[in-house]
A and B are shown apart, each in its own frame.
Chain A
């Protein structure tokens, strides 16, 4: 519901993009890590970059944040060419790199303040903002402890707090939750979601379909350095109408013709006494089946419409 609302807002807004990738290509030796990748992230969008390991997610994000120079192509951050004006573009963004770490020899608070100093905030204001963030991330009691002694999840929380101290317009996160404890994962997702609701544009890479599904308003699926598809999670699912199915079982055997020679059914799978019927129109098929059961005195044991999952979409698009 919440996501629907956000989608609506996005649609109503003028389609101005804050991150624009135009024909990005990057090769390492004879590996083409990213191959003519183009997309545009709109203002306030929660944009997901979904792909299996080695797909080119990190390479793409490194080009977007100006760390890697693409072999060809252009990156525009809020209209600013990051190669021509890197400092100005970087002022607008916060970055959580995949392998990125904070300074373990500093305390949680020192890390956040150090980060803020790079953006030129006065020290007093930083003290206040750092305390607020530390409280928000559940680390207030530990603020003066060296990060050395923190768990991975706690380090990542400090990492994110440091990256948003300057209230960036755009936040880039490269697999921010992978390998973390569940509690930290949940906290991070909640905070990133809140930031998005308050207007921050989010660019998140992940190989976790469920995460993309939960959080993102639009998803690009990248595979072997190329964009396979870009769409909303709902649309991605519904592109696969052929993978919709109805699962059913009746109490008695019935004429196989009902399912085998039915125009509504594309394909049949029998699993014990249950049938899985692939269809383009589950609604009409279910109505047809109930009518048949009624007419032939059959009892319906189970009847269920199965929507295609985002996983189906992912598998389909990333098939070799």
Chain B
């Protein structure tokens, strides 16, 4: 076989890796538990417990749900493949580590978008927001990309036991929920709490969704988009470094 174009080969690798991930990992228990059940339980406990006005809370819930679903696929794939012995074969295909990382990111991203479009439609039936058609799709796609990249980054420790990685990744993901402006609106936060909020990538999606649904946001959407983009670049860069370094650990 001749390589006509290395770029073609690069994109093909990403697509095939993504397809492989979709076929194999979407139905794995940890993905279903951490990606679907968790946000649902969080929603129920919060909503039922406090009896809060859903139309105020929905953008935050949607952001949380996106965060959990999109970031739940990534942490599973690499540890699972290392344990199953498929990772070494995958690396022997004409792919680079970046191909694999982006294929994993794409799988998490598509998972997040699919689930949350459903959540959005259900929410919209009941709540009927005047949706901003221009911002919402961009916000959804960029956020899914960002959170999925975080998920892939969380897969990079060398442990080959998927359960360890899932635990570790939850340990990182949970605090990000609580400092995200989902539960307490940004306006009401001051001091250290407010500073912490800006460190959570979820904050910016909450803000963007508030803007898309209610036309009202704390920051300018441009700032939100930029922040999500910057987080994505940071996560991908770190994922590349760590995955490369831990490439053969646990093979």
In the complex the two chains form, is B85's CB within 8 Å of A87's CB?
no
User: Is residue A101 contacting chain B, with contact meaning CB distance below 8 A?
Assistant: yes
In the complex the two chains form, is A166's CB within 8 Å of B3's CB?
no
Contact with B along A82-96 (1 / 0, CB 8 A): 000011101111010
User: Is residue A292 contacting chain B, with contact meaning CB distance below 8 A?
Assistant: no
The docked-state distance in angstroms from the alpha carbon of A159 to that of B96 is: 21
User: Is residue B89 contacting chain A, with contact meaning CB distance below 8 A?
Assistant: yes
In the complex the two chains form, is B85's CB within 8 Å of A99's CB?
yes
The docked-state distance in angstroms from the alpha carbon of A102 to that of B93 is: 13
The docked-state distance in angstroms from the alpha carbon of A120 to that of B88 is: 20
Q: Which of A65, A101, A120 contacts B92 (CB 8 A)?
A: A65
Which chain B positions have C-beta within 8 A of A87?
3, 6, 9-10, 94-96
Q: Which of B23, B84, B88, B93 contacts A115 (CB 8 A)?
A: B93
Q: Which of A91, A97, A105 contacts B94 (CB 8 A)?
A: A91
In the complex the two chains form, is B16's CB within 8 Å of A117's CB?
yes
Which chain A positions have C-beta within 8 A of B248?
62, 67-68
* A-contacting residues, B5-21, CB 8 Å: 6, 8-10, 12-13, 16, 19-20
Chain B residue with the shortest CB-CB distance to A59: B248
User: Is residue A104 contacting chain B, with contact meaning CB distance below 8 A?
Assistant: yes
In the complex the two chains form, is A100's CB within 8 Å of B96's CB?
no
In the complex the two chains form, is A90's CB within 8 Å of B24's CB?
no
* A-contacting residues, B89-113, CB 8 Å: 89, 91-96
In the complex the two chains form, is A118's CB within 8 Å of B24's CB?
no
User: Is residue B251 contacting chain A, with contact meaning CB distance below 8 A?
Assistant: yes
Contact A120-B12, Cβ < 8 Å, known A62-B248, A90-B93, A105-B24: yes
Chain A residue with the shortest CB-CB distance to B92: A95
User: Is residue B118 contacting chain A, with contact meaning CB distance below 8 A?
Assistant: no
Q: Which of A62, A68, A104, A118 contacts B93 (CB 8 A)?
A: A118
User: Is residue A228 contacting chain B, with contact meaning CB distance below 8 A?
Assistant: no
Which chain A positions have C-beta within 8 A of B89?
95, 97, 100-102, 159, 162-163
Contact A114-B16, Cβ < 8 Å, known A95-B92, A101-B85, A101-B86: yes
Contact with B along A167-178 (1 / 0, CB 8 A): 100000000000
User: Is residue B238 contacting chain A, with contact meaning CB distance below 8 A?
Assistant: no
In the complex the two chains form, is B94's CB within 8 Å of A119's CB?
yes
Q: Which of A91, A99, A105 contacts B1 (CB 8 A)?
A: A91
In the complex the two chains form, is B24's CB within 8 Å of A97's CB?
no
Which chain A positions have C-beta within 8 A of B37?
none
In the complex the two chains form, is B91's CB within 8 Å of A67's CB?
yes
* B-contacting residues, A165-202, CB 8 Å: 166-167
In the complex the two chains form, is A90's CB within 8 Å of B23's CB?
no
The docked-state distance in angstroms from the alpha carbon of A104 to that of B9 is: 26
In the complex the two chains form, is B95's CB within 8 Å of A119's CB?
no
Interface extent on B, as a size class?
20 to 34
Interface of B is mostly: helix
User: Is residue B247 contacting chain A, with contact meaning CB distance below 8 A?
Assistant: yes
Interface of A is mostly: loop
Shortest Cβ distance from residue B62 to the other chain A in the assembled complex, whole angstroms: 31
* B-contacting residues, A109-125, CB 8 Å: 110, 114-115, 117-120
The docked-state distance in angstroms from the alpha carbon of A120 to that of B9 is: 8
* B-contacting residues, A37-89, CB 8 Å: 62, 65, 67-68, 86-88
In the complex the two chains form, is B20's CB within 8 Å of A103's CB?
yes
Shortest Cβ distance from residue A139 to the other chain B in the assembled complex, whole angstroms: 18
Shortest Cβ distance from residue A260 to the other chain B in the assembled complex, whole angstroms: 58
Which chain A positions have C-beta within 8 A of B8?
120
Which chain A positions have C-beta within 8 A of B12?
117-118, 120
Which chain B positions have C-beta within 8 A of A117?
12, 16, 19
Query: Assuming A120-B12, A163-B92, A167-B1, what are 18 further A-B pairs, CB within 8 angstroms?
Result: A62-B248, A67-B91, A87-B9, A87-B10, A87-B94, A87-B96, A88-B6, A90-B93, A91-B1, A91-B2, A91-B9, A93-B92, A97-B88, A99-B88, A100-B86, A100-B89, A119-B93, A120-B9
Q: List 30 A-B contacts (CB under 8 A).
A: A62-B248, A67-B88, A87-B3, A87-B9, A87-B96, A88-B94, A91-B1, A91-B3, A91-B9, A93-B92, A99-B88, A100-B86, A100-B89, A100-B92, A101-B86, A103-B20, A103-B24, A103-B84, A104-B84, A106-B23, A106-B24, A114-B19, A114-B20, A117-B19, A118-B12, A119-B1, A120-B8, A120-B9, A159-B89, A167-B1
B: residues with CB less than 8 A from A are 1-3, 6, 8-10, 12-13, 16, 19-20, 23-24, 84-86, 88-89, 91-96, 247-248, 251
Which 6 residue pairs across A and B have the least CB separation, nearest first? A101-B85, A95-B92, A118-B93, A90-B94, A97-B88, A100-B89
